[in-house]
């Protein structure tokens, strides 16, 4: 069952995430990378959640990954698939799987990034995924 | 230092309403408070400590303290969603052990039905200053699809089935048939659960808790106060609390913060899971129960499905009677927060005041556990172990 796409509310950028959403407008998905411990994190933030250092660089992710878990909210209109996707770079992120058959999704399926436009005209797009 | 034996639960009250169109939110809190005080044999003027969470209207505890006319020495408005009130029992015991108060009142109330709130299937936005909101809210996280993703992953990793999850609801319904205040009193079968409409894969309608108005209150006192009262003595012997979250992207949906709060409580109580005669386990969804049972050590990780099957949670039949009031799945989930009612039914069991058809024989040791927030993103876990003296 492929259905019409739900509208995505626009995320609101703040000083902590402005750079992430600017990159999103350029079609790039960024993850936080700590220059102190070397670990990557998501969602991106000004402090490393692994070691506490503030020396963070945003690095571009390949946009490839696999479904860690998913659920189709059948009661929504239209129904949609929420998911956690584990990026090949390591971090797992919340997202939607779009343009797919909602009845055949499975954990472990390979997916690739496809940004989706959001409701506000000047709102940044959000990182969603399609089956790879 | 330990809270073991430093505080007693002297009064509990579960508001009987399930739809409160005729009551204000503050009124439900106050009526619950008065009910618990009456149960304990105390009055409002005996209260010197007050505990509430995010369901309290106004600024933290202040509006309700004003409304009820309380004079206090100790305040705590720690908010961890539906687990708050289990956590508050531990905090109240700490405050009492430190001599900061001697009669602590904990209240909960809410009117999600009267207010027509889309509880389970509409995304909740905690405000754009919450750092996670921009990265989650656009994708439509709701209560039900977040817990559904936990169930989905649990099934993938451990082979857990919808039929096994359904047994949790079946057990709750067996208990609810005896509770005249329960919203859903019909006994259901595994087939009825798995054939109920799919809400968010793999959770069906009957995997979800009820939506109810109502409230409740708990009175925790010092040993000195408890021993002057006429109620059976229910002693707090262990408490644990812990948050769990996304760990910077190292998301693992297969376990809850109970893996930390549980051992803390068991260690403090000097007991182990096999000693527990009755367990109140937060049941927002069937999967919530299954994961917490594993994480608290009632069975091996991944074996929860087999553990809950074949009536093992049904009083009089199974090895671990749970939620004998019908729980959130059938009885009551006031304010969309089920932690307080978990403590109440555990106290009823320890006092021997549960319904005769579900009363556990010689119930001298009970556990109450809450999960608040979302198992799919970030939540607070709280465990309390109580003993009948």
How far apart are the C-alpha atoms of B124 and B140, rounded to whole Å?
9
Segment B294-301 mean pLDDT: 98
Cβ-based contacts of B121 with chain A (< 8 Å): 73, 75-76
pLDDT for residue B371: 98
Query: Residues B251-273: pLDDT tens digits?
Result: 999 999 999 999 999 999 999 99
CB contact under 8 A, A6 and B140: yes
Q: Which among B122, B133, B135, B136 is the top mutation candidate for probing chain A, defined by the most A β-carbons within 10 Å of its own β-carbon?
A: B135
For the domain made up of B7-113+213-237, give the CATH fold: Peroxisomal Thiolase; Chain A, domain 1 (3.40.47)
Report yes or no: B134 at the A interface, CB cutoff 8 Å.
Answer: yes
CB contact under 8 A, B139 and A126: yes
Cβ-based contacts of A71 with chain B (< 8 Å): 145, 148-149, 152, 200-203
> How many angstroms separate the CA of residue B196 from the nearest CA in chain A?
13
Nearest to A107 among B139, B153, B246 (CB): B153
Report yes or no: B119 at the A interface, CB cutoff 8 Å.
Answer: no
pTM of full prediction above 0.95: yes
Report yes or no: B197 at the A interface, CB cutoff 8 Å.
Answer: yes
Cβ-based contacts of A68 with chain B (< 8 Å): 153, 251, 253
CB contact under 8 A, A40 and B249: yes
> How many angstroms separate the CA of residue A16 from the nearest CA in chain B?
9
For chain B, the domains span: 7-113+213-237, 141-210+238-388
Query: Residues B348-382: pLDDT tens digits?
Result: 999 999 999 999 999 999 999 999 999 999 999 99
Query: Residues A28-66: pLDDT tens digits?
Result: 999 999 999 999 999 999 999 999 999 999 999 999 999
CB contact under 8 A, A12 and B253: no
CB contact under 8 A, A93 and B140: no
What is the residue-level pLDDT of chain A in tens, covering all 132 positions?
556 788 999 999 999 999 999 999 999 999 999 999 999 999 999 999 999 999 999 999 999 999 999 999 999 999 999 999 999 999 999 999 999 999 999 999 999 999 999 999 999 999 999 999
CB contact under 8 A, A71 and B152: yes
Tell me what percent of the residues of chain B surpass a pLDDT of 70.
100
For chain A, the domains span: 18-131
Cβ-based contacts of B133 with chain A (< 8 Å): 11-12
Structurally, at CATH architecture level, domain B141-210+238-388 sits in: 3-Layer(aba) Sandwich (3.40)
> How many angstroms separate the CA of residue A27 from the nearest CA in chain B?
16
Q: What is the CATH number of domain A18-131?
A: 2.40.50.840
pLDDT for residue A2: 54
Nearest to A72 among B134, B201, B253 (CB): B201
> How many angstroms separate the CA of residue B374 from the nearest CA in chain A?
14
Nearest to A84 among B138, B248, B251 (CB): B251
pLDDT for residue B119: 74
Task: Decide if B7-113+213-237 and B141-210+238-388 have a common fold.
Answer: yes
> How many angstroms separate the CA of residue A94 from the nearest CA in chain B?
6
């Amino acid at each position: 069952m492929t259905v019409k796409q739900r509208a995505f509310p626009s995320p609101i950028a703040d000083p902590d995430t402005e750079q992430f959403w600017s990159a999103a407008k350029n079609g790039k998905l960024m993850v936080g990378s700590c220059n102190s411990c070397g670990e990557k994190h998501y969602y991106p933030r000004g402090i490393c959640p692994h070691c506490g250092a503030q020396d963070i660089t945003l690095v571009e992710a390949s946009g490839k990954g696999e479904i860690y878990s998913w659920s189709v909210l059948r009661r929504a209109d239209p129904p949609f698939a929420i998911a956690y996707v584990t990026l090949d770079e390591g971090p797992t992120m919340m997202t939607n799987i779009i343009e797919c058959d909602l009845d055949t999704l499975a954990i472990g399926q390979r997916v690739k990034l496809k940004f989706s436009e959001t409701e506000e005209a000047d709102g940044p797009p959000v990182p969603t995924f399609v089956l790879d | 230092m330990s809270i073991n034996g430093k505080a007693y639960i002297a009064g509990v009250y579960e508001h009987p309403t399930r739809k409160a169109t005729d009551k204000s939110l503050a009124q439900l809190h106050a009526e619950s408070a008065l009910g618990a005080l009456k149960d304990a044999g105390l009055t409002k003027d005996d209260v010197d400590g007050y505990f509430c969470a995010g369901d309290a209207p106004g600024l933290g505890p202040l509006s309700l303290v004003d409304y009820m006319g309380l004079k206090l020495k100790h305040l705590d408005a720690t908010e961890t969603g539906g687990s708050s009130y289990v956590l508050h029992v531990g905090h109240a015991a700490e405050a009492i052990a430190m001599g900061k108060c001697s009669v602590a009142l904990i209240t909960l109330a809410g009117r999600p039905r009267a207010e027509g709130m889309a509880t389970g299937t509409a995304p909740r936005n905690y405000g754009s200053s919450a750092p996670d909101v921009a990265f989650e809210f656009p994708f439509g996280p709701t209560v039900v699809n977040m817990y559904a993703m936990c169930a989905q992953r649990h099934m993938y990793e451990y082979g857990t089935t919808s039929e096994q999850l359904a047994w949790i609801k079946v057990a709750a319904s067996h208990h609810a048939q005896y509770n005249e205040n329960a919203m859903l009193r019909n006994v259901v079968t595994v087939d009825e659960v798995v054939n109920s409409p799919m809400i968010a894969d793999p959770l069906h309608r009957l995997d979800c808790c009820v939506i109810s108005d109502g409230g409740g209150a708990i009175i925790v006192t010092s040993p000195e106060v408890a021993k002057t009262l006429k109620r059976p003595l229910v002693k707090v012997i262990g408490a644990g609390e812990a948050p769990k979250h996304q760990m910077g992207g190292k998301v693992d949906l297969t376990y809850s913060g109970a893996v930390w709060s549980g051992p803390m409580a068991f260690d403090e109580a000097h007991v182990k899971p096999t000693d527990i005669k009755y367990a109140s386990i937060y049941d927002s969804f069937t999967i919530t129960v299954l994961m917490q049972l594993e994480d608290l050590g009632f069975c091996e990780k991944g074996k929860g499905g087999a553990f809950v099957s074949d009536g093992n949670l049904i009083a009089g039949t199974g090895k671990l009677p749970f939620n004998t009031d019908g729980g959130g799945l059938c009885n009551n989930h006031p304010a969309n927060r089920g932690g307080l009612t978990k403590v109440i039914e555990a106290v009823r069991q320890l006092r021997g005041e549960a319904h005769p058809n579900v009363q556990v024989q010689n119930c001298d040791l009970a556990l109450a556990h809450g999960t608040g927030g979302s198992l799919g993103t970030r939540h607070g876990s709280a465990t309390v172990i109580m003993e009948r003296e």
